Structure 1
Amino acid sequence: MSLLVLSAGDVATVTASVPADSFCTMLGKTMAAISNPAVDPLAIQNPQRVATESALHKTLYMPSRLTTSEGPATAVKVVSVPKPTCSIPGLPATTLLFDEASGLTRACVNAADLTGIRTAAASALATKLLADPSSTSLVVFGSGTQAYYHARLILQLFPSISSVTFVVRSISPRAQALLDRMQAEFSKIVAHAVTSDRADDVVEGADIICTCVPSTEPLFSLEALKPGVHINAIGSYTPLMREFPPSLIAPSPASPSAPHIPTLLVDSAPACLAEAGELIAAHVTVAQLVEVGALLDPASGGLRDDDETRERVEQLRSSGRSLFKCVGVGGMDVAITRLVVDEAERRGLGTRVPF
């Protein structure tokens, strides 16, 4: 059996041609399968990630098996997270996709961008479900891969949006390159970048907010948020991280009558309760969480058409504001890798090597 090797360029070629709706359908089927497990105990397997450490990196190993209406797939993603002592930029990642019949490695994929795409697809799906369809203003915190894909997919899904503002630490060459890329891809959109000291100023007018930075302090104040805003929070993934004020999702002891979002949409309730610092600080319980997959049909990946689902969606919007929290689960990596490999094979992309 030969091994398909997909470079970063191969992955970029494939993903550039896949529309946001297709990514959302793929993620919808994935999350529905994870939240509605089949009778077969082997269908969904998401073991806890393990890690090793070197002088410059913490390397994470994330195996997973996923079974959706597209069939089963098994993969393992390896990500090297740079330590502050590492001067080399980037977040190197590789995913191995295995052949279910033989157990051999089917493909080796440069996954540096795939985490950004699959997480952005989850946020885009949540935004379709909860945000105002007539939203006009998008604010994204960050200037990296996650920020780009969040902006790209949401702009594709919401043609009413006329402006996107990136909140960054400084107007760096990377931030300017992101602005140039957005303007090239969305010529009718006005793209801006502002520094973090002006965060509250731009948040005040935002209909949709995406927080894509590993912050340990809230990125904006509660008072700056408009009543109908939808927030996708994906940058914090440890108990010590904070992207938004915990009082946004729980009554504040200082202001118990201040409005907060009582029910949250999440990718995985157990994972968010264990890893999301804002939820831990706010003492959120599982009763306050709705998994996005519980709202979706496993066959189509779309919203279930029943009264219970409609009531849950209304519950998520009950305060006017809404929030989606995502820390990522292994099945998401399997799904995006399979989509990219299938499309690359169909188009004859990549390099075949004996193995």
Structure 2
Amino acid sequence: MTDTLFLTSSDVADLATPAEYVDAVREGYRQRGNGAPAQPRSKFFREDPQGMLTTYAAVLPETGAMGGYMYSSGFGAVDAWFMTPLFDAESGAPLALLDGASMNPHKTGAAGAVAVDALARDDADTLAVIGSGAQARGQLHATATVRDFTDVRVYSPTPESRESFAADFDESLEASVRPVDSSTAALSGADVVITATRASEPVFDGDDLEPGTHVTAMGQYSPDKRELDAKTVANATYVPDLRERATFDAGSFIQALEEGAIDEDHVHAELGEVVAGNAPGRTSDDEITVFDSGGTGIETVAAAYLLYERAKAEGRGQTIEFAPASEALTGN
């Protein structure tokens, strides 16, 4: 038998700060840039009742951990459940099983922040956020740790949502955070743009992007979802989390490809290649850059291992037992 740590969502909710998530995820992407294995998500659908099962995984050999996410959504419950198995990368033994719900916006936000740090101008101080849900909040919490923003504008179609979002962050950030009534108003003068929506159509016009802007788009991990128009993708140095994702489920890239605005060679590099120094990031102040974040096992494993180590040190969670196959299959 092997003792494995089980951590509930509440066990891990306050174990790490946004900056610590960012550091862990940056290290994970550095390893990916030097060859650590990772694959895009797999999705399985059911029509009646409507639902989806999603999985993805990564191995971070220098961290010493591997694992990923498995989550379901729908199936008549109109909800989702996140499970994160974490294994030792050397022995293969199960280290932990985490309820990954509370971790989700933090680790995804950290991936966006790593991209902003690698691709946005060093002097970026004005941020536009399109979206006001949990993922948008995670992006802002993390991104605020890598640049000194003074002005943050948030737009979402529901006035109450954007006003509540702005009020919450205006109290917690040094920056001025205010709601605006259009994506155009949000983008005016913005150095960094974050889109965190469930949109199937572009959420802003590419003509509204000013030279030198960085865009992190994290809500487009399906061929039929599209936060960015073809002009934005075509005019940008395009960096996905995983190169393979660009033509697999990166909706904005796929639809720009279908429109003839780009070809498959438009992918500049993976984020990990930029973080590891194996590919250039931004090369000029006027360059538009895009990070296409669909979610990977890289940030999941990096964040889960951080939380596992912290939980062990603080004595959180409970121990469950797993039987190795040699015992379970033979009864010995």
Given the alignment, which residue of 82, 86, 103 partners 1:97? 86
Kindly tell me: are residues 168 and 82 of structure 1, through their superposed partners in 2, closer, same or farther at Cα, counting changes over 3 Å? farther
Structure 2 counterpart of 1:328, from 280, 292, 295: 295
Change (3 A) 1:221 1:247: same
Alignment pair present for 1:162 and 2:155: no
* Distance verdict in 2 for CA 1:348–1:177, change over 3 Å: farther
Aligned partner of 2:53 in structure 1 is 59
Pair 1:271 & 2:245 matched = yes
What residue is the counterpart of 2:9 in the other structure? Answer: 8
Is the 2:239–2:271 contact (alpha carbons within 8 Å) kept by the matching residues of 1? yes
Match of 1:245 among 229, 235, 238: 229
1:265 partner amino acid: V
Aligned 8 A contact 1:209 1:230 in 2: yes
Residue 300 of structure 1 corresponds to none
Distance 1:112 1:175, change over 3 A: farther
Partner of 1:313: 281
Give the Cα separation in 2 of the matches to 1:292 and 1:268: 7
Deviations 1:48-87 (A, max 9, x none): 524253614312133x24133222x23242222337x75x
Whether the 8 Å CA contact 2:193–2:216 is kept in 1: the answer is: yes
Distance in 2, matches of 1:103 and 1:132, equals 41
Q: Aligned equivalents of 1:216 and 1:265: distance in 2?
A: 20
Counterpart CA distance in 1 for 2:38 and 2:289 is: 30
Letter in 1 for 2:288: R
SS, match of residue 22 in structure 2? helix
8 Å CA contact 1:214, 1:237 repeated in 2: no
Counterpart CA distance in 2 for 1:194 and 1:10 is: 36
Is 1:79 matched up with 2:71? yes
Alpha-carbon distance in 2 for matches of 1:327, 1:183: 28
Paired residue secondary structure (1:231) = strand
**Structure 2 residues without counterparts, runs of 5 or longer:** 258-262, 323-332
Task: Count the aligned residue pairs.
Answer: 315
- Are the equivalent residues in 1 in contact too, given 2:25–2:298 (CA < 8 A)? no
Q: Distance in 2 between matches of 1:48 and 1:150?
A: 20
SS at match of 1:14: coil
TM-score, structure 1 length as denominator?
0.79
Contact 1:246 1:281 in 2 (8 A): yes
2:40–2:244 Cα contact (<8 Å) kept: no
Question: Aligned letter for 1:202?
Answer: A
Amino acid at match of 2:102: D
Contact 1:4 1:353 in 2 (8 A): yes
Q: Distance in 2 between matches of 1:132 and 1:14?
A: 31
- Identity fraction in percent: 23
Distance 1:31 1:10, change over 3 A: same
1:116 to 105, 130, 138: 105
Secondary structure at the counterpart of residue 78 of structure 1? strand
Change (3 A) 1:101 1:226: closer
Q: Distance in 2 between matches of 1:235 and 1:148?
A: 13
| Cα shift at 1:116 | 2.2
Query: Residues 170 and 178 of structure 2 are in contact (CA less than 8 Å); yes or no, is this contact kept in structure 1?
Result: no
- Aligned counterparts of 1:176 and 1:205: Cα–Cα separation in 2: 20
158 and 45 in structure 1: CA distance in 2 versus 1, 3 angstrom threshold: closer
CA contact (8 A) 2:66 2:86 kept: yes
- 1:178-233 deviation digits (Å, cap 9, x = unpaired): 334323422x32222345xx111221121111011121111111222222211101
Check conservation: 1:29, 1:68, Cα contact below 8 A.
no
Partners of 2:74 and 2:197 lie apart in 1 by 15
Deviations 1:273-331 (CA, angstroms, capped at 9, x unpaired): 2211221122232354211211233xxxxxx3xxx75xx2244x475222111222223
Question: TM-score, length-normalised on structure 2?
Answer: 0.84
Contact kept? 1:30, 1:68, Cα under 8 Å: no
5+ residue gaps, structure 1: 38-42, 251-259, 298-303
Partner of 1:46: 39
Comparing 177-186 and 237-246, the one that deviates more: 177-186
Which aligned pairs between 1:187-266 and structure 2 lie closer than 5 A?
188-195=174-181, 198-250=182-234, 260-261=235-236, 263-266=237-240
